[in-house]
Structure 1
Amino acid sequence: MEFLRSLYFAFDEEVQAEIFKGLTFYSIAILILCILVYVGGKILSSSPETKGKVSAFVFGIVVANVIAVVYILYMLREIGIIQ
């Protein structure tokens, strides 16, 4: 953590703002991907023979992406970018 904190605060404020914007964009893109995968899964799971497989796949993708966003927020909090 200390390495990431020192690396982040070594940049000037303009670069820090761009890093934060990039991480925010990445988090929003992951959440949009989750929504699209969920909607696509609902469409594909309308047939009874693929319902269980598609639902499990969609659930796995959504959970993995939500965990990624939570980890990004955790790292930002640990580094001191957000409170």
Structure 2
Amino acid sequence: MEHTRAISAQGDATATRVEVAFDGEMPTSGGSFAGYCSPLQDLPARAREELTDWTQTLGGHLAAEGYRGPYSPDLVCTQDGTLYALE
């Protein structure tokens, strides 16, 4: 799949809430990740909303299973703003 950006969001799950702490981009150099730039810049509004929704939904599932703590979904974003989850 041709993608333009590798992005992620950092969430935190507790017994009473799930929140998105921050988001960012994972630039690559020669096919390897080369740092983390936060906050995300120039992400289409629809993609940002979807990233937030996915991060909160994942956190809700993790919290329901008893997980407490940080988590971070990694995704790629295509030229048209479509997101695909990696992990």
Identify the TM-score tier after normalising by the shorter chain.
Answer: 0.3 to 0.5
Task: State the TM-score, normalized to the length of structure 1.
Answer: 0.38
Larger Rg: 1
Q: So what's the TM-score if we normalise by structure 2?
A: 0.37
Compare the two structures and name the one with the higher helix fraction.
1
